Amino acid sequence: MSAAPAVDALRLLVVDDEPTQREMLQLLLERAGFKVTLAVDGKDALNVLERQSFHLVLSDQRMPGIDGLELLVKARELRPDQPFVLMTAYGSVESAVAAMKRGAADYLTKPFTKDELMLVLERVLRQRRLQAEVEELRNQLSDRSRMSGLIGVSAPMRAVFERIERVASTDASVLVTGESGTGKELVARAIHERSKRAGGPFVAVNCAAIPEALLETEFFGHEKGAFTGAIRARPGAFELAQGGTLLLDEIGAMRVDLQAKLLRALQEREVQRLGAEKPVAVDVRVIAATSEDLDEAIANRSFREDLYYRLNVVPIELPPLRDRTEDVPLLLDAFARRAAARHDRPVHRIRAEVVERCCVYGWPGNVRELQNVVERMVVLARGEELGLDDLPEAIRAACDPSPAVSTDALALPSDGVSLADLERKFIVEALSRSKGSLGPAARMLAISYKTLQYRIRKYRIDRSEYAGR
C-alpha cells in the first residue's frame, strides 16, 4: 500500500498508456512524498490539465492518439509555465532534442532507475521554485528598489535607497564610496533624477581617466589661445553641468594642486576658465565618488582634508555584491532579459544550479563583472536557457557548492541543547558576523545559499535584526 502524501505534497501528473508502467511510477512517486494523478493517454491528460495545474507533468512519448510531443505543445498552450518531463525510448535522441526545443524542462531515456527519475524531478522542480522566487522578488521591486538601473531588495541596498530618497531633494554634496563595479555612477544618476535639478544636465567626469595635463581645462574650461592648441574657447564640466548635477568620479585620483582650485570653486560657486580674466558663476550640485580609501589618502597627504569634508556632507556607501547575495537572482534575471533583448537571443530561463553557483561566487568585480558574465553567456548560449556549461570555467572552478568548513568558522554552543537549537544558534551567529548578509553567512556555515534561506524561514529568524551590527 502506498504512503499517503503530505497535505502540502507536490502534485504530479503521470501520463502513460501502459498500466504496469503507470502503477510502478505512482508507487515510486507516492513513496517519495508526491501527490500523483494518473492519465491513461494524451487526451485524458488534456482533460485533467483543463481542470487543474500541477507542479510537474511526467509523460511517456509513445502513446496512441496524442503522443507525448503533441501533448507537450497542447499542455503549454493551456498552461505556458507548466514544467514538462518526457520519457523517451532508449536511443531516441531526436525526440529528446525536439522535446527540449518545444519547451520540455527535461527528459528521461527508458529504461531509467529510481535514482535517475528522482534526480531529474528534483532538478526540474528546483528550477520551478527558483523561477517562482525570482518572480516573487521581482514583484517586490518598487520604485525605491529599482533606481536608475540599481536593483536590490537586500537590507544593505534598502539602506542605500533610503539614503538616496532623503538626500535627493536637497542640494547637499554627496560622497559615494564603494568598490569598483558596485554602481556608484548609478547612485549619482538616481539622486539627480529625483532632485529638483532633474530637468538640468547630468555630467560625469572620471578623474582617473583624464590625463593630468588636461584635468584643469576639463573641469574649468579654457579661452581661445590659452595654451598651444587651444584654437577655440571651450567650457569645462562645471559650466556644462549648469543648473544640473556634476559627478566627479574617482575623485581620489585628482592632483593636490587641482584639489585646491576645486575647493575654491565649491566655496565661491564660480569657476575661471584658463586664460579668462573673470570668473563665471555656476549653479551646480556636486556628487563625488571614489573606490579609494580617502582617510588613508588624507594621512598620506595625497588628498586635502578640507576638500574631503566639503564633499562628504552626506556619505553613501555601496556594499560589494558578495555582501548582498540575496540580490544576485534578481540581477541575473534582469541582466539576462536585457542582454537577450539587446542581442535578439531566445534565452528566457536560467537553471537553478547557475543561480546557486553565482550566489556562492565572490564577484571581485561586483555588479559590473556579473553583468558582463551574463551578457557573454546570453550571446554564446546554444538554447533557451543558461546552464552550468554556459557559466565561465573560472567561476565554476571557484564555486564548489560544498566548501570545507574552516576550523575557526563558528564557536560551538554549550552542551544541553537540541539539534535544532544547535543549528539555529549556528545560523544566528553566522548572521551576526555577516551583519545579516546571506552570502558570507552561507560560506561560514558551509551550506548553500538556498539551504540557508530555507533554514531561516524554518526557524523564523529575522535577519534584519543583524543588519549593520
Mean pLDDT of 416-437: 77
Least reliable range by pLDDT among 265-279, 287-301, 344-358, 395-409: 395-409
**pLDDT higher than threshold 90 for residue 343:** yes
Q: Are strands 234-235 and 221-222 parallel, antiparallel or unpaired?
A: antiparallel
Read off the C-alpha cell for 18. Answer: 501502459
Percentage of residues in the chain with pLDDT exceeding 90? 37
**pLDDT higher than threshold 70 for residue 90:** no
pLDDT tens track for 180-221: 999 999 999 999 999 999 999 999 999 888 887 777 888 888
Radius of gyration, CA atoms only, the chain: 29
Least reliable range by pLDDT among 87-96, 252-261, 270-279: 87-96
Q: What is the pLDDT of residue 447?
A: 76
Domains 11-138 and 151-319 share a fold: yes
322-398: what CATH class?
mainly alpha
**pLDDT higher than threshold 80 for residue 457:** no
The percent helix, strand, coil of the chain (3-state, each to 5) is 50, 15, 35
The secondary structure of residue 413, as a DSSP letter, is: P
Quick check: bond before 64 cis, omega within 30?
A: no
One-letter amino acid at 158 equals: R
Beta bridge partners of 151: 146
pLDDT tens track for 6-33: 435 789 999 998 888 888 999 989 988 8
Distances from the Cα of 80 to the Cα of 52, 105, 168, 217, angstroms: 13, 12, 42, 59
Q: Return mean pLDDT, the chain.
A: 84
**pLDDT higher than threshold 60 for residue 409:** no
Least reliable range by pLDDT among 55-69, 101-115, 315-329: 101-115
Mean pLDDT of 280-305: 93
Q: What is the pLDDT of residue 180?
A: 92
Neighbours of 247 (CB within 10 A): 26
**pLDDT higher than threshold 70 for residue 302:** yes
> Which helix (H) or strand (E) covers residue 294, if one does?
helix 294-299
Mean pLDDT of 347-363: 85
- Closest C-alpha to 361, from 346, 351, 373, 343: 373
Read off the C-alpha cell for 96. Answer: 529528446
d(CA 54, CA 37): 9
Distances from the Cα of 129 to the Cα of 55, 160, 224, 350, angstroms: 10, 29, 65, 12
Q: What is the pLDDT of residue 257?
A: 86
> Taking a C-beta distance cutoff of 8 angstroms, is the pair 385, 350 a contact?
yes
Could you tell me the residue ranges of all domains in the chain? 11-138, 151-319, 322-398, 419-466
pLDDT tens track for 247-258: 999 999 888 888
Q: What is the pLDDT of residue 214?
A: 79
pLDDT tier at 414 (50, 70, 90 boundaries)?
A: very low
- How many Cα atoms are found within 13 Å in the side-chain-facing hemisphere of 238? 24
**pLDDT higher than threshold 70 for residue 294:** yes
Fold assignment, 151-319: Rossmann fold (3.40.50)
d(CA 109, CA 107): 7
pLDDT tier at 469 (50, 70, 90 boundaries)?
A: low
d(CA 15, CA 42): 7
Q: Which CATH architecture has domain 11-138?
A: 3-Layer(aba) Sandwich (3.40)
